[in-house]
Every structure is written in C-alpha cells, then in structure tokens.
Amino acid sequence: MFSKKHLFYASAVLFLAVLLAVIGFAIYGDSGRVSFDHGVASGDPLADRVIVWTRITPQTSRRRVRVRVEVASDEGFKSLVHSSSETATAESDYTVKIDVKGLSAGTVYYYRFRSGGVTSALGRTKTLPRGDVDSVKLAVFSCANYPTSHGGYFNVYGHAAATADMDAVVHLGDYIYEYGKVVDSATDNPEGTGRDLPEYSDKEILTLDDYRRRYALYRTDLQLQALHAAYPFITVWDDHEVANDAYVGGAENHDESEGSFDARKTAALRAYYEWMPVRPANRNDSRQVYRSFSFGNLVELLMLDTRLAGREEQLSYKDYFDPDTGFDSRRFREDIGSPDRTLLGRDQLAWLKGKLSGSIATWQVLGQQVLMGRMNIPAEMIPHLGDRTPEVPGLVDKLTEIKGRVLRDDPSVTQDERDRMNTVLPYNLDAWDGYPAEREAVLSAAYGADKNLVVLAGDTHNGWASNLKDAEGNQIGVEFATASVSSGGLETYLKLKPEQAEGFARDLEVLVDDLVYSNTKDRGYMIVSFTPKSARSRWIYVDTVKQPEFRELTSSAKTLGVLAGKENRRVVSD
C-alpha cells in the first residue's frame, strides 16, 4: 500500500517524465513515426574511414529527429565498431552523414540507422586497402535522366547491384538533371507510358528546395538504392547537378530571368553535399571537390572537377561563322589555342601535377567528366552536327570511304580528298578538345613523370575508348568513357535507328584518328579492373531503359585493355 509520501514522489516522477517528454518533443520531436524512404549510402572510403549516410522522413512536423548510427564487422551487428546518437535536422533536409573513423584497411563493414523503433535497410561498405594490392575493380557510371521521355529507368544501376563484384562505384556526374518536364514528341517513349517527373518536382530546379526535392525523387528509385547499399560511392559533379554546360560564371541553361547563377550554384552544391555520401575536400571551401583515393600501391584515383573549379566559358562555332565570309578559322584557332584558356584552373592543375609526380602507384587514374581524347572530325561535318536530314548519313559514309582509302595508301586518292581529310575540327567544344593547352599540360605532366595514365570519362552518353597522345605524337595513356545510365546518346540526337547507329560508330572509328572503340546506341556502364600488369575495361549494356523489365545486352558487350609500361600504354584488345 502506497503512503502519501510514496504518492508524492510518484506524482513528482510522473510530472518530471511528462515535462521531459514535452521538452524532448519540442527539441527533437517525437522519437517515433519516421521512415527511411531514401535508403542508405556510403562513400569516400579511405583506408581508415568511410562516410555513411541516410535520410529520415518524419511523419509529423518537427525540426529535429534523433538517429542511432551503428557500424559492425558482421551482418548480425554482434561486433560493433561504431555506435553513436546523431540528430537529423530540417536545416540539413533531415539527412544524416557520419565520417566513421578508426576502421581497418581493406575491410568490409555493415551499417544501419535506427530511429523511433524503425531500422533502415542494411548497408554494406568497404575501406580502401594499404600496401601491396593485387587487384582493384571499379564500376563507372554517368548521366541518369529520370523521365523516360529523355532518359528512363535506372536498369543500369540495378544490373550492377545484382551482378557486379567491385571495390567501389565511381560516379562521374550528372547524377541528377535539372530540367523540368519536357513535352517533345520526337523523344516520346515508344515502348510504353514509362515514368515522368512528379508534380512536386516537374519544373526546372533553381532553389535549394528544388534541388533537394529532385535528389529525394532520385533516391526513391529502388535500383539506385540497391547500388548505394551494396558499395561505397566515389563521386564528382558534372554540369546537370547545377545546370547544363556549366562553367565558373554561368551555364548554357541559365539566364538573367532565373536570378543569380552564383546563388543557384551555391544552392545546388549545398543540396549535393547533403544528399551525397561525399566528404568535403577542403573544410574551408565546400566548392572544392577534387581529391584523391589510394588503393594501396596499385591505383591512385584522382577525382577532378572539370566544371566549376576553373572552367572558362565554352567556345561556340556559331561565333566564328559569318554568312558572307564563312568560317573564320584563323580567329578560332587563336582563341581555342590560347595558353591561358583553362578547364581545371591554376590551383587544381598544380594539385594534379603534384599528385602525378608524387604517386608511387602502378596506375594513375583520372576520374573526371568530359572526354579527354581528341575527337577531330572532317570540318565539313561540323555544320551538320545535330542535323537529322537524310543527307547526313550519306556525307558520313562518303567521308569514311575516303578516309579508308587514305589509310590504305590508295593511289587513287586525289589532293582534294586528302585536303578534306586533313581539314579537321573538334566536334565537342565542351570537352577537353575545347581547352587543348591545358590538356597538353596534363599529358606532359604524366609523360614527364613516366606514369601509367588511365582517364575515365562520362558526359557524352556513349561508350568510347581512345589513345591519348600529346601534340608531338607521344603515346601517353588511354581513355575509357562510359555510356549513360539512361540519357539518350548520339543515336537520339541524330535520330539513328540501331543499325544506323552501329554503322555510325564504325565510321567514327575510321574518321577519328585516336578513337579505338565507340558505341553510339546503348545505355550501360563500365567495370574497370586493375592488376600490376594491366588495366581493362568491360562495357556492359542493357537492352532497354524505357521499361523496368530488362536484360543484359550481351551482343554489345566489349572488353579492351592497356598494359603497364612505357613501351605500351595504348588500347589493346582483351
């Protein structure tokens, strides 16, 4: 039987508990009624640490939510190596990102998040190795446009999550697209209704809330969630994380009516750091994303920013065409060849040169956005880029036939035909071709340091392999470029049927001197594998992104490689 004294203390304790609950709700919100709608992710692995990430979706309005973060060496979480209580806040869009330290090198770990009696999906990650390393395997992705009208389902992510076995995922940008809903009958999905941007995110994104909503939309995709949960990501932005064809001071897809570009960029990058498992490369400058990752003594992965760190505005051919006098080649070559024209910027270029010269790894790998290989085509093709008229394939076929005869030393080749083959221009001024002096500086640094250089690229939506040569013709290294996750490639822009796209790809391999391989019709990704003796890339494609049911397109798969050593360093067949 309770005495009055007992009742007093019981009442006091109850009152205190209620008071603490009220205070706790005001500060943190109710500990229940949450969900993990956007999965889990890990990224920026080092030998002793890795970022783990999730986002809480509160079911009631509140400013803060408490979250338990657990990392273990086993799936059953019996051997915890990290456990902490964190707070998801509205100020960070309820994202939670922890840099888990004190881990062992080259080790698989498992992680999860718990809040309000709800447990997130299980995540798996892996730290980088130290010392002697026999092999490294990376999956490389780029360019995922969500709606099927201009992109499609993320089947490429799903394929990799289900079948690949790698050490890390390298994402080279265009993780999201900034566009709003576009109605274009020329790109309507022929295979079904597909998916489109939902009403809450169907306008071009400009503000912080816009960018956050777009990331949230992407991260509801179950195939992307599966890949994030399976492997650590190493990422860098390209242009569409902000706006199409971005450079330091602006973008093609931004005008004065949309406000300050710098404000838009600031909002975009804040959302990027909230939603991506990436560690700021410079605590004093969140816009610096270039950084390095060492896979023991085998691979030094150098992630570059070819968009926002130092890129000058792209040149445009239309500025050099006059309706009366034609193309002003002299002025164009002076402008494009300027030694002061920058893509990386002075600070990043100096950092890269230092990393190349100081690296002790067998392979120096540049993870970056745009094609570095020279893509010079006959100048008479330039006015027809994007031209969908029936005459264009005939022109390409004729030029390819002439180039084939030139390569065979056919005596019937006329001087006029040779002149047509020797008069070439880069087809893509947004790529390194638009900044040749700085490309030469990078290639010279690699050559002078006697490094085995492999460049990874995305951006174009198509698969490529090129030999990288300097201006003097020295073989410096190779470039492997991935196709897109879902964004349409040259076959879309040129309205090519599959058989036409295959023919066009073969024509390009003849017309472009340093190009060894191209695929201009399929969506996919690369698995790039390294050993002390060789590096090899396998291009993997899926048969459709216009519907969720798909299969691997084995007929399009391709494997090429490169051998280590100064006497090699060129693309060879597997």
Contact of 466 with 514, CB cutoff 8 Å: yes
Closest CA to 461 of 431, 433, 435, 491: 491
Contact of 354 with 492, CB cutoff 8 Å: no
For residues 241-265, give the mean pLDDT. 97
Listed range (34-48, 187-201, 215-229, 282-296) with the worst mean pLDDT: 187-201
Closest CA to 292 of 209, 231, 352, 346: 352
Tell me the per-residue pLDDT of 125-151, one tens digit each, with 9 for 90 and over.
Answer: 999 999 999 999 999 999 999 999 999
For residues 452-463, give the mean pLDDT. 98
Tell me the per-residue pLDDT of 326-357, one tens digit each, with 9 for 90 and over.
Answer: 899 999 999 999 999 999 999 999 999 999 99
Measured distance CA(220)–CA(37) in Å, rounded: 7
For residues 247-254, give the mean pLDDT. 97
**434: which residues sit within 8 A by CB, 6+ positions away?**
314, 315, 336, 343, 426, 428
Query: Is the pLDDT reported for residue 27 higher than 70?
Result: no
For residues 16-37, give the mean pLDDT. 52
Which parts of 306-386 are beta strand (E)? 321-322, 326-327, 363-367, 376-378
Task: Tell me which DSSP letter residue 383 carries.
Answer: G
**Span between the terminal Cα atoms of the chain, in Å:** 86
Task: Tell me which DSSP letter residue 66 carries.
Answer: E
Query: Is the pLDDT reported for residue 486 higher than 50?
Result: yes
* Cα 114 → chain centroid: 30
For residues 56-66, give the mean pLDDT. 90
- Centre a 10 Å sphere on the Cβ of residue 79 and count the other Cβ atoms it contains: 11
At residue 26 the predicted structure's pLDDT band, cuts being 50, 70 and 90, is very low
Of the chain, the percentage scoring pLDDT greater than 90 comes to 83
Domains delineated in the chain = 35-127 (2.60.40.380), 376-386+394-426 (no CATH)
**265: which residues sit within 8 A by CB, 6+ positions away?**
242, 246, 308
Tell me the three state secondary structure of residue 58.
Answer: strand
Query: Is the pLDDT reported for residue 52 higher than 50?
Result: yes
How far are the Cα atoms of 62, 196, 308 from residue 271, in angstroms, in the given order? 20, 22, 16
Tell me the three state secondary structure of residue 292.
Answer: strand
How many helices (H) does the chain have, and how many strands (E)? 12, 30
Measured distance CA(50)–CA(71) in Å, rounded: 11
How far are the Cα atoms of 155, 226, 394 from residue 163, in angstroms, in the given order? 12, 12, 41
Helices in 182-236 by DSSP H: which ranges? 208-218, 222-230
Query: Is the pLDDT reported for residue 19 higher than 50?
Result: no
Angle separating helix axes 155-163 and 222-230, nearest 10 degrees = 40
DSSP secondary structure, 111-161, as one string? EEEEETTEE---EEEEPPP-S--S-EEEEEE-----STTTS---HHHHHHH
Cα dihedral 429, 370, 152, 520 sign: positive
- Centre a 10 Å sphere on the Cβ of residue 134 and count the other Cβ atoms it contains: 10
Query: Is the pLDDT reported for residue 16 higher than 70?
Result: no
Specify burial of residue 250 (Cβ count, 10 A radius: 0-12, 13-18, 19+): middle
Q: Which residues pair with 517 in a beta bridge?
A: 465
Report, in angstroms and rounded to the nearest whole number, the Rg of the chain calculated over CA atoms.
Answer: 26
Q: Which residues pair with 426 in a beta bridge?
A: 376
Measured distance CA(173)–CA(235) in Å, rounded: 7
Measured distance CA(434)–CA(337) in Å, rounded: 9
What are the backbone angles phi and psi of residue 391, rounded to the nearest 5°? -70, -20
Closest CA to 303 of 45, 572, 23, 489: 45
- Centre a 10 Å sphere on the Cβ of residue 45 and count the other Cβ atoms it contains: 27
Q: What is the pLDDT of residue 164?
A: 80
Question: In the block, which residue shows the tokens 């509140």?
Answer: 62
Tell me the three state secondary structure of residue 67.
Answer: strand
As given in the structure block, the two tokens for residue 318 are 């239309």
Measured distance CA(192)–CA(546) in Å, rounded: 7
Listed range (124-133, 299-308, 375-384, 506-515) with the worst mean pLDDT: 375-384
Claim: this prediction has a pTM higher than 0.85: yes
Contact of 271 with 211, CB cutoff 8 Å: yes
Query: Is the pLDDT reported for residue 177 higher than 50?
Result: yes
